[in-house]
Structure 1
Amino acid sequence: MGDRVTSGQELLARYTAGERAFPDADLSGAKLSGADLADANLSGADLADANLSGADLSRADLSRADLSDANLSGTDLSDANLSGADLPRADLSGADLSDANLSGADLSGAKLSKASLYRANLSGADLSEANLSGANLSGANLDRTNLFGANLSAANLLKADLLEADLFGANLSSATVSQANLAGASLADTDISGAKLYNADLFGADLSGAKLSGADLSHATLSGADLSGADLSGADLSGADLTRARLDRARFDRARFGNVQLLGTMLLDVDLSPLCAADPSVRHLGPSYVDYKFILRSIRTPNLKDFLTRTGMLEVFIEYNVDSALSLRTDVLKCYNPRSLATVHQTSPLRANSMSLCTATGLPRSSSPSMRSPGRSYTA
């Protein structure tokens, strides 16, 4: 009875007889659709290309098993042990993986749409290019998981742990990521439009070039996050912590910034009209960085001078820069945009004046914002 299982029929017969241990079984291509294999030990088994759709594998041990290209759609894998298992391109759509252990598993290119991964352990797993659209990942552990290019649209990631996870180029549009831990995560060039990130922890996260239009980032922690070039148009950042965050070249049209916290925040080459007009007002906890492009792009904002005053910029700098921007010819000001920046540089006295102001306050003319010292650079 301890011989290695080599067929699906033999497996079912021995399971029915009460046997549960089938380590290293050779079941590649086996037809086990709808089979009852709860509590079975299939560790190290070869189940490549097997059909296990609708099967009961709850509490089963599938650690180190080969399930590549297997059909596990609608399968019950709750509380199962799949640590270190190989599941590339496997079909797990609609499967129940709640409380399952998938740590270190290879799920690259797997189909997990509408699967339940509630409180599942996916730490260190490879989910690159996987389809997790509409999946339930609430409370799941995705610590340092590879989600490069994964589809998580409309997925539920409420209170999930995504510490330092790689989500570069992933699709999180309309996903629920509220109260999730995304500290140090890579979200560069990720589509997060319309997603719910209420009270999410994005401390030190890389969101450069991310699409966050219409996203709910209210009360989120974005301290030290990189949002350079991000699209935040129509996003809700009410009560968010943006201390020491990078926001250069970000888009903020129609965004809400009521009660946002700023300190050492990089506000370079942006139109901060929504920030200046925020209600309740932005909370300035200390100086933040601005440049002449910020002045140009926000020059028509009624509360610009007041905003700059509350950041701590000296009045003489405010008057000089605002007056210089207003002295531009109307036609030049109207054509201002990133692509016509060279034209503005050539025609505007503000270019040279801003450079001299930076030098006067201890900033070398060739310095970049990333090299500035908070105690010496030109700040607002």
Structure 2
Amino acid sequence: MQSSDSSSPSDTVIPGVPSDTLSPPSPSVRYYSTTPSTQSPPPTTSSSSPSLESGRVTTEYSTSSTSGPLNSSPYTSPTVDWDEGNVQGSAGSSVLSGFDRASPLEGGMTNSDSEGTPSTLDEEAVLALEGYISILLSQLPFNPSLVTGESLERASKFMMVNNGEALETAIHKTELEAVGIDGVNGDDVEEGGGRYREVQKVAGFLRGYREAEVSRVGREKVRRLLGSVVEGGAEGLDRELERMRREGEMDDDLVRFIGRNVREQEMLVAGGGSGGEGSGKLLEVLKMLNERVKVEAKSTGGTEEEEEGVKNLKLLAELLKTEERGRREIKIKKELGKGKLERYETFQLLVEDTLSYVGANRGSNMGLLDEGILEDVLGIVKEARKEIPGGKGG
């Protein structure tokens, strides 16, 4: 789980954009779970409403009450806590031992961003979550109000691994075990069945918690990105994106979060929302962030060929924003250098393809795709290729 960066701007102000935009959510955090309509809801205060899926009921758990799972005040009733003495994984080893080894996974870092093999890190996260689910199932029927906030915080970093894949794997394995335990007794609790139904309740609760965490962490990241734009412009944004990429904060969850906010802002602007001109400016900024983050996320943990393609796209984007030809030439030679001829060839192909696209769509709004600059960039690349052994034929 990611902690808030104390150096991050707490109040990001963009000229013309309402100051309360992207404000923190209200203290009442809701986790949603979807359970089959044949199952009874967890024994806690909740409200149910039909979902769009036929035959299913959406149950809403609210933590606004004093007995909510994230409430830090002491409970008078027994609580399900993560005790190293009794948390055991399927292999019989202490699950908590995985916390120290997998600590680089804090905050949703994907397995390819840390030391160790991907399979090892994935397996440790799955093992930890299997153990946590087994503890939540130790007191039946499952009651979300008995889950401590501390245990959820310690589990959240594993829920974020590989964009939630570790959590889904742990849930699936626990479901299979529950089916075996229930056997022919099915949902008959008196005969020893009903385990699978309880697993479904726990799964819905943890999925809802993870979604709430994704939104919270995504909101913090967007605030930092917006703050970097305000304080340092394009260069400030580049520095922040590079820092986030280096520290493993770029993931599909962030891409989806920003994309969702873009769609919501588009609907607000189209409907003439209360934000007025500020809403339109915020939409432009969010769209820009969306494109940049998607590119950065693709460059994290990809193949060498994919990373080279991302570097070429970033270089072309920088060149299109550079007005002076001399500065464009310096950037090209600095980035491509006197390295492999293949790098020049792939970048030249990208520029040529972009020129063809602009030519085919001449008359349309091409935004930054200036045909004159593209032709100039192509000429610079062809000249620079001649300095590379075997590159005179370009």
Normalised by the size of structure 1, how large is the TM-score? Answer: 0.25
Q: Which has the larger radius of gyration?
A: 1
* Greater relative contact order, per chain length (Cα 8 Å cut-off, separation 6+): 2
- The structure richer in helix per residue is 2
